[in-house]
Structure 1
Amino acid sequence: MLPIQAGEFGFSITAADQPDLADIDGFYRRGRGGFWVADDGGRIVGTIALRDLGDGQGALRKMFVAASHRGASDRGSGDGIAQRLLDILVQHAAANGFSVIVLGTTDRFLAAHRFYEKNGFATIDAGDLPAGFPRMDLDTRFYRRTI
Structure 2
Amino acid sequence: MIQIQSFENQDTEQIVDLILTIQQKEFQVPITINEQQDLLNIPTFYQQGRGNFWVAKHEDKVVGTIALIDCDGEIGAIRKMFVKKEYRGKEFGIAQKLFDLLLSSAQEGGINAIYLGTLERLQAAIRFYERNGFSLIAKQDLPASFPIMAVDTHFFERKI
Please list every run of 5 or more consecutive structure 1 residues that lacks an aligned counterpart in the other structure.
75-79
- Listed one character per residue, the Cα deviations across residues 43-72 of structure 1 (whole Å, up to 9, x for unaligned) are 111000000001110000000000000002
Say if 2:23 is the partner of 1:5: yes
Matched residue, 1:83: 96
- In the TM superposition, what is the alpha-carbon distance from 1:132 to its structure 2 partner? 2.4
Matched residue, 1:119: 132
- Listed one character per residue, the Cα deviations across residues 3-50 of structure 1 (whole Å, up to 9, x for unaligned) are 000111111211111011111111111111010000111111100000
Say if 2:102 is the partner of 1:100: no
Matched residue, 2:70: 52
Say if 2:29 is the partner of 1:14: no
Say if 2:157 is the partner of 1:144: yes
After the TM superposition, which segments of 4 or more aligned residues of structure 1 sit over 2 Å from their partners? none
User: Which of 42, 66, 69 is the equivalent residue of 1:24?
Assistant: 42
Return the TM-score normalized by structure 1. 0.94
Give % identity.
51
Matched residue, 2:84: 66
> 3-state SS of the aligned residue for 1:47?
strand
Please list every run of 5 or more consecutive structure 2 residues that lacks an aligned counterpart in the other structure.
1-18
Q: Output the CA distance in 2 between the equivalents of 1:135 and 1:124.
A: 13
Q: Output the CA distance in 2 between the equivalents of 1:50 and 1:35.
A: 6
- Listed one character per residue, the Cα deviations across residues 96-142 of structure 1 (whole Å, up to 9, x for unaligned) are 10000000000000011110000000000001111121211210000
Q: Output the CA distance in 2 between the equivalents of 1:63 and 1:107.
A: 15
Instruction: Write the letter of the residue equivalent to 2:131.
Output: K
User: Which of 32, 35, 46 is the equivalent residue of 2:53?
Assistant: 35
> 3-state SS of the aligned residue for 2:53?
strand
> 3-state SS of the aligned residue for 1:54?
coil
- In the TM superposition, what is the alpha-carbon distance from 1:73 to its structure 2 partner? 2.1
